[in-house]
Amino acid sequence: MDAVTEAQRAAARTHRQAVAAMVVCTLLWSIAGVITRHLHRHDGSVLVFWRSGFAALSLLLVLGGRRGPAALLRQALAPAGGGASLLWLSGLCWGVMYTAFMVALSLTTVAQTLVAESLGPLFAALMGLLFLGVQVRARTWAAIAVAMLGMAWMFWNNLHASTGSREVAGLLIGLFVPVAAAGNWVALRHAGARLPMQLAPMLGAGLSAASMALFSSARLAVDAHDMAWLAVLGVFQLALPGAFAVWAAQRLAPAEVALLGLLEVVFGTLWAWLGAGEVPSGSTLLGGGLILAALVGNELLASASTRSR
């Protein structure tokens, strides 16, 4: 009995640590909007190239410095324990997320992009159920529903009436983000801690930057001001939270990871308020409150369920 109790306590402790890691991730992810508003260039492909390039370089330096270039290459091509397909699938998903988000923002409004992202928890729950057999508890389905309602309420009054081809294209590209994110959380959960999935964000950032270098028709040069801020985004908004997210996603259900990821919207609104003078409206505060209530309620119920076993 004592052994079982200790195992439950260890599992609960790991769960709390993983939740905390995801909260840190969302806090770092959320700085993208406010920093982007202070850049001189606003071309999506340019922002993707430099942001992803700095993320790939910083992860290459850290991981390569710890393991050596040769060992890093071997782990990318044939990781110990197999699972190269999972590693590259996760890397591809990271690349799609990094690219589609910034390109969508350059074509349509932040509101429409974030509404598209709010579908992430639903996609993650369905993919986790289909591909991993992870059962989604009723409380999580309820939290997903409340969070999506909060997202819709937050941005409903801010959506532009225009439905031109540019806005439609941006919205469709934005839908790649929640689909790729859901696939990524499923791949990371399936891989578990047995595979060096910390390489995946580096591979994704490299694929993202390379795709812009090869296929973008825009001039990729930026001034020193933008270069410095894009370096900050690459290191602190992509590379660092990417490492945290890999660790957390290997220990949490895909639906829970995606649900916690919605905190990025709440934090992003706060950053825009403090850093860009965008005072949130009453509908934004109410919608953010619904999201926070859904997240906190889901975690409190999960904690209570663990203690009652």
| Average pLDDT for the chain | 83
Site of tokens 């859901």: 182
Question: Directed axis angle between helix 44-67 and helix 84-107, to 10°?
Answer: 150
Site of tokens 């929640």: 178
Whole-prediction pTM value? 0.84
Percentage of the chain with pLDDT > 70?
Answer: 87
Which residue from 207, 212, 264, 259 is spatially nearest to 241, judged by alpha carbons? 264
pLDDT tens digit sequence for 135-194: 888 888 888 888 778 777 766 665 554 456 777 777 788 889 989 999 999 999 988 877
Do 195 and 83 meet the contact criterion of CB atoms below 8 Å apart? yes
Whether the per-residue pLDDT at 105 is higher than 80: the answer is: no
Highest mean pLDDT among 27-36, 137-146, 297-306: 27-36
The token pair that represents 83 in the structure block: 């699972």
Domain locations in the chain as residue ranges: 2-308
* Pairwise pLDDT comparison (239 vs 34), residue with the higher score: 239
Whether the per-residue pLDDT at 16 is higher than 80: the answer is: yes
End-to-end CA distance of the chain: 12
Query: What's the average model confidence in pLDDT over 90-112?
Result: 85
Residue 114 confidence (pLDDT): 66
Do 60 and 111 meet the contact criterion of CB atoms below 8 Å apart? no
